[in-house]
Amino acid sequence: METKIINIDQNNIDSELMAEAGRLIAEGELVAFPTETVYGLGGDALDPKASKKIYSAKGRPSDNPLIVHIADFSDMARVAKTIPEDARKLSDAFWPGPLTMIVQKSDAVPDATTGGMDTVAVRMPNHPIALDLIRRSGCLIAAPSANTSGRPSPTEAAHVAEDLSGKIAMIIDGGPVGIGIESTIIDLTEETPMVLRPGYITPAMLSEVLGREVVIDPGIIAADDTRKPKAPGMKYKHYAPKANMVIVDGTRKRVIEKINELVAEHKDDGKKIAVIATEETKDCYEADVVLSMGSRDDEDSIAHELYRILRECDDLDVDVIFSESFSTPRIGQAIMNRMLKAAGHQVIDTRVTYDKIIFVAQSGTCREQMAKEIMKEFALKVPMDVEARGLVVQFPEPLNQKAEAVLIGNGISTEGIVSEQLEESDITETTMVFTMESSQRDKIIEKFENVDPEQVFVLSQYVGDELEILDPYGGTLQNYGLCYESLRATIKKLVKMLNENHQEQ
C-alpha cells in the first residue's frame, strides 16, 4: 500500500485534504495524525476490522487495548456504560488535553478495540488537527502511538513514516508535537482513582481537581519490573532503543565521572557510544556522540526531546547509551518511567551514604556550635559524625558566652567546645556540609576545588525554609535565644529528611 503524506498547518487547516483523511477513516482505513502528546495511528474505534488493522500495522499484541479519541464530551456517552462524576470533573479541568480516562465500556465498543477488556480508555486530544479529523470522519478514533510496537513513540511525522510507511493509508504531517510523552492514564473504575501511566498531568493535579486521594499503580514505580502494571501496555519493554542503555544517577560531578569512566572502558572494546546529557553537561563527556535533552531546569524540553533522541541513537547505530538521570520536580516521574523502560531498568546509582555532617559559619564559636549540639539531641536512624567548623579561625576560641548561656538554659552541656578552622581534608566524599548563609557556601566552593558543590548546602535552603539562620552576634541574649529556636526547628526538619532519605534507599 502506498502511504500518502499530507502537510497540514494546524493554524490554517486545509479542509479539502482533511476531508480526504476523514473519509479514509470512515472507510475503515488507517491515518496517522499529530496530537499534543505523540503521533497517533487512527482508525474507526467502533469497527473491529479497523482495530485489527491497527494491531497488525504496529505489530502490537492484540491483548493491549487502544485509546478511543473523542472530540466532544458528549461522545463519551457512546463508549462509556455510565459516566462517573469524576470523569466530568476531570474533563472540565483537563480536556481537551493529555489525559486518558478508563471507564466501564458500552456495548458499542468492540472487544477488538479494548483487547477483550470490559473497560475502555477515552481521551480528548488538545490538537486542532486531531479534533478536526475526529469530527470530519464522523467516527470516534482508536489511536495508539503511531510507532512500530517496541520502538520509541513518534514525536514527528518522519518518525511515523520510518515505522509505518507502506502499511497505512495516510500520514498527516502537522509538525513536531508539543509535549513529547504520552498522556497520563487514570483508571476511574476502582474505588480510588489510580494513575496507570504517568504523564504531563501529575497525580497531584488530578487529586486537587477530584478533591480526594489518587494513587499510583505500584507496578509502574517499582524499582524493578517484577510487579505487573495494570495497563496491559505498560508491561511490555516499550520505548526501547536498539542499543543497550544504562542510566547513571547521583550528583552531577559523580555522574560525569562515572559516565566518563564507563565510556573509556567501552571505547577500549571498540564500541560506538552515545551519552544523553544536558546543555549544562554536554561538553563534559568524551563519547562518540553526546546528545543534549536541553537545560536540566527545563523539564518540558527534556520530555519533548526524549523519544527523538532515542530514535537518533538508533539512526546513529550506537552500541551503548549512557544517560544522565532526570528526576525533575514535576513531570520527572513521567520522564523516568519512559527512561527506565528504555534502559530495561539498568541503573547505576553513584549516590553515597553520607556518614558525616559539618555545620559551618564564620567564626566557629556560635551558630555552627549550637547546631552541632542541637543535632545531638535528635535520633538519626543511621548514626553520623557531627562537627562544627568556622571559615576563619585564627586560634581556638571558646563558645560565645551568650550562646553558651542559651544552650545551658536549654539543658545542653557546653563543656570542651572550642572553635576549629574548616580544612579541605575535613570534607570527605561522604560528608554533608551545611552553612548558615549562602555566601559561606560560595566561599567553600571557591576555596576547596576538590569538594563537590553538590555536597555543600545552605542549611535553611536544604530543609525548604525561606529565611537563613541569622547571625545573632552583637545582639541581646534574647536574640541568641531566638537563633537557638530557629536552629532547633530547622534541625528537626533536617533530621526528619535524613531519616526519610534513608528509608527510601
Contact residues for ligand TXA, defined by CB under 6 A: 35, 37-38, 40, 64-67, 100, 102, 114, 117, 119-121, 123, 125, 143-145, 182-183, 185, 196, 231-234
User: Which of 59, 233, 48 lies closest to 142, judged by CA?
Assistant: 48
Cβ of residue 319: shortest distance to ligand TXA, in angstroms? 27
Residue 155 interacts with Mg ion (CB under 5 A)? no
What's the CA angle centered on 333, arms 330 and 339, to 5 degrees?
130
Picked from ligand TXA, Mg ion, none, the partner binding residue 64 (CB below 5 to 8 A depending on kind) is ligand TXA
**Least Å distance between CB 9 and ligand TXA?**
20
Q: How many other CB atoms are found less than 10 A from the CB of residue 27?
A: 12
CB 86 within 8 A of CB 191: no
Name 264's Cβ contacts closer than 8 Å, sequence gap at least 6.
286
Shortest Cβ contact with ligand TXA: which residue? 233
Shortest distance, position 54 Cβ to ligand TXA, whole Å: 9
Q: What's the min distance (Å) between Cβ of 205 and ligand TXA?
A: 16
CA angle 401, 406, 408 (to 5 degrees): 90
Residues in region 100-119 near Mg ion by CB under 5 A: none
Partners of residue 457 on adjacent β-strands: 434
241 binds, among ligand TXA, Mg ion, none (CB under 5 to 8 A by kind): none
Looking at the Cβ atoms of 102 and 214, the one nearer to ligand TXA is: 102
278 binds, among ligand TXA, Mg ion, none (CB under 5 to 8 A by kind): none
Q: How far is the CB of 117 from ligand TXA (least distance, A)?
A: 5
Q: DSSP letters of 157-203?
A: HHHHHHHHTTTSSEEEE--S-SS-SPPEEEE-SSSS-EEEE--SS-H
Which residue type, as a one-letter code, is found at position 212? R
- The piece of 96-104, 139-147, 370-378, 483-491 that touches Mg ion (CB under 5 A) is 139-147
The minimum distance between CB 291 and ligand TXA, in angstroms, equals 23
What are the two backbone dihedrals, phi and then psi, of residue 323, each rounded to the nearest 5 degrees? -125, 145
Q: Cell triple for residue 47?
A: 469497527
Closest CB 234 distance from ligand TXA, rounded Å: 5
CA proximity to 170, closest of 411, 6, 403? 6
Residue with smallest beta-carbon separation from Mg ion: 145
Q: How many residues does the chain have?
A: 505
Q: Contact with Mg ion (CB under 5 A): which of 126, 145, 431, 490? A: 145
Q: Which positions lie near Mg ion, rule CB under 5 A?
A: 145
